[in-house]
Amino acid sequence: MEGILGAYPAVRRRVAAEWGAGFALTAVVGAGPLVRLVMAAEWTGVAAWVGGAMFIPSLALALGILSRTHRLFQAIYLPLWYTVANGLPVFDYMGALRASRDMADIQPVMTVLVSAALLVMVFMTNVLRRFSRD
């Protein structure tokens, strides 16, 4: 895809469109738990859901840009998902393991910050690659 999209003049728009598509897919797939959290008025859970929905496409885009392949994301995301699915709080990006109230309040903020850092890395990598081609 990079060969096709590399000629697109606005790097920011291209990255935003790629991330938006990943966010939309993540949101559609995870809409069921979101509806349940909203109906239960569990706003900490909704914040964790939003953080997770932002983190997944940010991680995928960052790893894809850095490695120029989808395999690195597949290799990293599966074990990361596995730890959350099995109750290991290594990095609970989905907010699924909210056993401690203190961590439940911090987790969405940390996930959004990590997502933002990954997006900044994506933009910087694209800018540096574009300047190195000129």
pLDDT in tens, 46-92: 888 898 899 999 999 999 988 888 899 999 999 888 888 887 777 77
Task: Determine whether 80 is exposed, middle or buried from the number of CB atoms within 10 Å of its CB (0-12, 13-18, 19+).
Answer: middle
DSSP state of 60: H
Contact status, residue 98 vs residue 45, Cβ threshold 8 Å:
yes
The pLDDT tens digits for 50-62 are 988 999 999 999 9
DSSP state of 75: H
Tokens for 46, please give them: 């909704």
